[in-house]
Amino acid sequence: MAAGVATWLPFARAAAVGWLPLAQKTMPKPPVDKKSRSDEILFVNVSGLRFQTWKNTLDRYPDTLLGSSEKEFFYNEETQEYFFDRDPEMFRHILNFFRTGKLHYPRHECIQAFEEELAFYGIIPEIIGDCCMEEYRDRKKENQERLAEDTEAENAGDAPLPPGATLRERLWRAFENPHTSTMALVFYYVTGFFIAVSVIANVVETVPCRPIKGSIKDLPCGEKFSVAFFCMDTACVLIFSFEYLMRLYAAPSRCDFARSVMSVIDVVAILPFYIGLVMPENEEVSGAFVTLRVFRVFRIFKFSRHSQGLRILGCTLQSCASELGFLLFSLTMAVIIFATVMFYAEKGTKGTNFTSIPASFWYTIVTMTTLGYGDMVPDSIAGKIFGSICSLSGVLVIALPVPVIVSNFSRIYHQNQRADKMRAQQKVRQARIRMAKKGATNAFLQHKEDGGLQDGDSGSTALCVKNRSAFEHQHHHLLHCLEKTTNHEFTDEVTYSEVCMTDSVGFRTSRSTSLSSQQGATTSCCSRRAKRRAIRLANSTVSVSRGSVQELDTLHITKTPAGTQYPQSRSSLNARTEDLKLNCDDYTAAIISIPTPPANTPDESLPNSPAIPGILRNSRSNTYNIQETVKISSL
């Protein structure tokens, strides 16, 4: 029930006394009201901004947070007030709703934020007052469209194909997104070129060329070089037919494809040629055949696959269909009216051009669109008067729907621009988000590397362990618990793909550690303890080839599985330095600091250098010569 209804309920109940003498049955007992009837002022503190209101005001809407007992959860005993940690500006509007019974939408606020506040306080947005409902709905629709674009851009065909794609799917993808593969791009440009060639040929065909020797008359080029043009035409049609058939084959839904506008255009573009082939050399039929040649000009519409602007224009016209229809209708009406008037006005004139009403149509149209060819001109005074009225009103009738069409076009154009920008930025955004996520995982993995999970002395962990917040501690503990539960361990993607790739034995000497370190390459090892004995990690050559510099600050220390000597391969500086068996082959160095790669590391047993706090030098060695490992990290 609506707002102030609660206020009037006592009145309605009182008025029920009027039914009592008429009642045929006994009245039911009234509900016992235990609440104190007296009104009191409540204090509501929203992020420091204190509001005060009568309790009755809030009680008006018992199904909201503030009107029900739910607000007791937010009651602060010490300060004797209700504390909400929400936006105080928005709360103003919420409270006004309770006071006046009408919910208004503040125009300067983000619609999502507003809806979230409403959801928190238990108010449905449908009760926004009429004054603000329009604005709210428009903004909401706009927002939804924008979000839909975002998700669309995410799911756009730029996503890599699933590995098991059939030829058909690959072909279709190549057709729809030409920039995905070089072949597709080549094909795209080739067809574009041939469309242009075909259109130009059609045009040039009709240009008068110099006549052949012996003749005086100018010939159109098409007849002079008929063989050449025929060959060109054939080539183009062959290419177009081939393209059409390929598309038809590759289309996921052939019926839908056959019905789509583009395919219709394709068919119309190549049909005249085939019809011309099968048509007999008949005089009268060839007349019709010539008309068919006109359809060749439709090839120019094939450009819309290549040009986004054309598509936008088409889209605009589609969306403005009703306005265009109205324009057409009003024009037709005006044309008929004025043509009739002009015809009857000019009826009396001798030798007039206005021979019939349909003949006057031409005059009316030419005049209303302010063309004024002058081939038909009124003579009588009445004709001239009505002619001038016609031209004046013509301007108005045409000017009316044009702004609508223009605004539609601009809206769709901007939408497209936005979509394109979104797509372009999407990749960067996704990459950043991925990195942020990886940061968290990396932190955990590094934490493991640093031996934080060991029950060893915590004092030595101080050296290389970065500062971690309480949150991180707990988070890492949680991840560790999960590892224990499943008896598996977390690694990173590179390691994972490596493991997938190199499941075989084989290892290579890893002199190129220094190389990789110089390049600051990012590599990682598989840190699967379970597989440690079985798998020997690919060496740094592999890692070099993979050298993609990460733009992260985190150091990614990984361990090798080659734990022939020691089951655990945690080689941390702090922990038993004597046991530093080399397990870790690779490391990731941030680009910030490229650690000085000791070129002779692999074979030497380097003494640990704890002098440099947190610097661990890592050297790779093959699994057989397990030497000391010193990790290099960058802080």
Partner 1 sequence: MGALMVIFSLQKDQRRKRTDSVEDELELSAVRHRPEGLEQLEALTRFNRKELQILYRGFKNECPSGVVNEDTFKDIYSQFFPQGDASKYAHFLFNAFDTNKDGSVSFEDFVMGLSILLRGSVQEKLNWAFNLYDINKDGYITKEEMLDIMKAIYDMMGKCTYPLVKDDTPRQHVELFFQKMDKNKDGVVTIDEFIDCCQNDENIMRSMQLFENVI
Residues that bind partner 1 (CB under 8 A): 1-2, 4-5, 7-24, 26-27, 29-30, 33, 37-39, 54, 56, 99-101, 389, 392-393, 396
Please, what is the minimum distance in Å from the beta carbon of residue 401 to partner 1?
Answer: 15
Please, what is the minimum distance in Å from the beta carbon of residue 22 to partner 1?
Answer: 6
Q: Toward partner 1, which CB reaches closer, 100 or 609?
A: 100
Q: What are phi and psi of 52, to 5 degrees?
A: -130, 140
Q: What are phi and psi of 2, to 5 degrees?
A: -75, 180
Please, what is the minimum distance in Å from the beta carbon of residue 229 to partner 1?
Answer: 53
Please, what is the minimum distance in Å from the beta carbon of residue 21 to partner 1?
Answer: 5
Distance CA 168, CA 175 (A): 11
Q: Toward partner 1, which CB reaches closer, 11 or 73?
A: 11
Q: Toward partner 1, which CB reaches closer, 17 or 500?
A: 17
Q: Toward partner 1, which CB reaches closer, 396 or 599?
A: 396
Within 10 angstroms of residue 232's Cβ, the number of other Cβ atoms is 19
Please, what is the minimum distance in Å from the beta carbon of residue 266 to partner 1?
Answer: 46
Please, what is the minimum distance in Å from the beta carbon of residue 396 to partner 1?
Answer: 6
The angle, 0 to 180 degrees and rounded to 10, between the axes of the packed helices 321-345 and 308-319 is: 70
Q: What are phi and psi of 206, to 5 degrees?
A: -95, -5
Structure tokens at 264: 């219709």
Q: Toward partner 1, which CB reaches closer, 4 or 358?
A: 4
Q: Toward partner 1, which CB reaches closer, 64 or 517?
A: 64
Contact predicate 172/251, CB 8 Å: yes
Please, what is the minimum distance in Å from the beta carbon of residue 36 to partner 1?
Answer: 11
Q: Toward partner 1, which CB reaches closer, 13 or 421?
A: 13
Please, what is the minimum distance in Å from the beta carbon of residue 2 to partner 1?
Answer: 6
Which residues have CB under 8 Å from 634's CB, separation 6+? 553, 555, 589, 590, 592, 593, 595, 615
Structure tokens at 527: 């840190």
Which residues have CB under 8 Å from 211's CB, separation 6+? 217, 218, 219, 224
Q: Toward partner 1, which CB reaches closer, 9 or 290?
A: 9
Q: Toward partner 1, which CB reaches closer, 100 or 458?
A: 100
Q: Toward partner 1, which CB reaches closer, 394 or 602?
A: 394
Q: Toward partner 1, which CB reaches closer, 38 or 469?
A: 38
DSSP per-residue letters across 161-217: PPTT--HHHHHHHHHH-GGGSHHHHHHHHHHHHHHHHHHHHHHHHTSEEPPPTT--S
Please, what is the minimum distance in Å from the beta carbon of residue 13 to partner 1?
Answer: 5
HEC letters along 254-272:
HHHHHHCHHHHHHHHHHHH
Judge residue 319's burial from the number of C-beta atoms within 10 Å of its C-beta, 0-12 exposed, 13-18 middle, 19 or more buried. middle
| Residue in this structure with the two tokens 């021979």, named with its chain if needed | 355
Please, what is the minimum distance in Å from the beta carbon of residue 94 to partner 1?
Answer: 17
Q: Toward partner 1, which CB reaches closer, 124 or 285?
A: 124
Q: Toward partner 1, which CB reaches closer, 101 or 220?
A: 101
Q: How many CA atoms lie within 13 A of 440 on its CB side?
A: 13
The separation between the first and the last C-alpha atoms of the chain, rounded to the nearest angstrom, is 63
| β-pairing verdict for 41-46 and 81-84 | parallel
Contact predicate 601/617, CB 8 Å: yes
Q: Toward partner 1, which CB reaches closer, 12 or 277?
A: 12
Which residues have CB under 8 Å from 106's CB, separation 6+? 90, 93, 114
Q: What is the dihedral of CA 66, 69, 74, 75, to 10 degrees?
A: 110
Contact predicate 195/300, CB 8 Å: yes
Q: Toward partner 1, which CB reaches closer, 100 or 417?
A: 100
Structure tokens at 422: 């979104």
Distance CA 331, CA 217 (A): 44
Please, what is the minimum distance in Å from the beta carbon of residue 100 to partner 1?
Answer: 8
Please, what is the minimum distance in Å from the beta carbon of residue 340 to partner 1?
Answer: 17
| Residue in this structure with the two tokens 């506040």, named with its chain if needed | 117
The kind and range of the H/E element at 75 are strand 75-76
Please, what is the minimum distance in Å from the beta carbon of residue 387 to partner 1?
Answer: 13
Please, what is the minimum distance in Å from the beta carbon of residue 30 to partner 1?
Answer: 5
Nearest by Cα to 602 from 589, 622, 621, 586: 621
Contact predicate 66/123, CB 8 Å: no
**If you compute the radius of gyration of the chain from its CA atoms, what whole number of angstroms results?**
40
Report DSSP state, residue 305: G
Please, what is the minimum distance in Å from the beta carbon of residue 139 to partner 1?
Answer: 29
Distance CA 556, CA 490 (A): 13
Contact predicate 64/123, CB 8 Å: yes
